Structure 1
Amino acid sequence: MDHLTKLEELLNQANTDIKNGAYDEATNKLEKIIDMDPNFGKAYNHLGYLYEVKFREFEKGETLYKLCLEKTPLYPPVYYNYAVLLSTLGKYDELKDLLDTALNIPGITKSTIYNEYGIMLEQQGKLDEAIEHYKKCALDTLDKGVLERAKGSIDRCKMKKEFL
């Protein structure tokens, strides 16, 4: 088995551990991948996700997402994960830059990125702009669930506008 195949296999095992709630085992496998190849960016994304979502260590998660972007800038999942973290932390300038970059990444799901723009703008009280991005999300998807969520987000923004 070649080096890259071994790294991908370990990453898949770590993914399975994460799905099964075995976070320490996943962390160990991901750290082993980084020891074997410090430039294997996908491992930083998965480790960042664990630190952000499971261990609630946001700064460490952010550092790991940045390392993934540095080493594997064309890896779509890091854009989704890092966007959620920046949104959680209210780092809107950095989030806007990340989303602007994400739209040009091959294989990215644009409707997801438009939804993240919508969330960011809604959190900033820019409701008309948020509605425009939720509309872009809706128009860019073929997924009925995403479409319904976008409609719900637009309705929520319209309700908020009634309070202004």
Structure 2
Amino acid sequence: MESLSFYENQFIKADSLISDGNIAEGKELLEEILAQYPDFGKAHNHLGWIYYNKLSNYDRGIYHYKLAMKFEPKYPAPYINYTYLLIDIGRYAEAKGHIRDTMQNLENFDYSTYNSELGRMAEYENEYTAAYNYYKLAKKSALNPNFIDNMNANMKRVKDKMSIFEKLKLKLN
């Protein structure tokens, strides 16, 4: 059996292949890694991403994200990727619970990204004041200028959707 270091290097190659658009080759390499090391959480995260984003196989994406979180509990990527998936398939209650649990348990929790996702869910649910406030919170803790610009655009879009009464409440708060 080859060493874990070899498979870590293989993982880096798979990540590079995926970044370069060679999804099929990257997927094969990830599957080879998991055949030897089924508890390699980062490989599960990347497979989850492929199943979710490239193959629209949400059940397999969920399966791999959950394994990634189980085997690499301090690795932040599967937590946010799982959040994106849950929101995209409309499982908002589950996504909110996942975010709450992640906030309590993940050391390097990205408040900006998760508040943005809470805002996205609130907007989908036509809760425009809540969405505006989440986007505002996301902006407040952000450092990336492009992300801040996106939050400004989100806040403007949501404000445009608000009734006159909702807009007045914002001004009063």
Instruction: Compute the TM-score of the two structures, normalised by the length of structure 2.
Output: 0.87
For structure 1, list consecutive stretches of 5 or more residues without a partner in the other structure: none
Q: How far off its partner does 1:101 sit?
A: 2.3
Q: Distance in 1 between matches of 2:8 and 2:103?
A: 26
| Contact 1:102 1:113 (C-alpha < 8 Å) held by counterparts | no
User: 1:117-143: per-residue Cα shift (whole Å, max 9, x none)?
Assistant: 111111111111111111110110111
For structure 2, list consecutive stretches of 5 or more residues without a partner in the other structure: 167-173
| Contact 1:65 1:78 (C-alpha < 8 Å) held by counterparts | yes
Q: How far off its partner does 1:99 sit?
A: 1.2
- Who is 1:48 aligned against? 48
Structure 1 residue 62 corresponds to structure 2 residue 51: no
- Give SS of 1:45's match: helix
Q: How far off its partner does 1:103 sit?
A: 2.4
Structure 1 residue 25 corresponds to structure 2 residue 25: yes
User: What is the number of equivalent residue pairs in this alignment?
Assistant: 163
Q: Distance in 2 between matches of 1:81 and 1:155?
A: 26
Give the percent of matched residue pairs that are identical in Structure 1 and Structure 2. 30
User: 1:4-31: per-residue Cα shift (whole Å, max 9, x none)?
Assistant: 3222211111111111221111111111
| Contact 1:14 1:25 (C-alpha < 8 Å) held by counterparts | yes
Q: How far off its partner does 1:90 sit?
A: 0.2
Matching of residues 14-163 of structure 1 within 5 Å? 14-104=14-104, 105-162=106-163
- Give SS of 2:109's match: coil
- Which moved further from structure 2: 101-110 or 11-20? 101-110
User: 1:102-158: per-residue Cα shift (whole Å, max 9, x none)?
Assistant: 324122322111111111111111111111111110110111111111111111111
One-letter code aligned to 2:150: R
Between Structure 1 and Structure 2, whose CA radius of gyration is higher? 2
One-letter code aligned to 2:159: K
Q: How far off its partner does 1:85 sit?
A: 0.8
Would you identify which runs of 4 or more consecutive aligned residues in structure 1 move more than 4 Å?
none
- Give SS of 2:73's match: coil
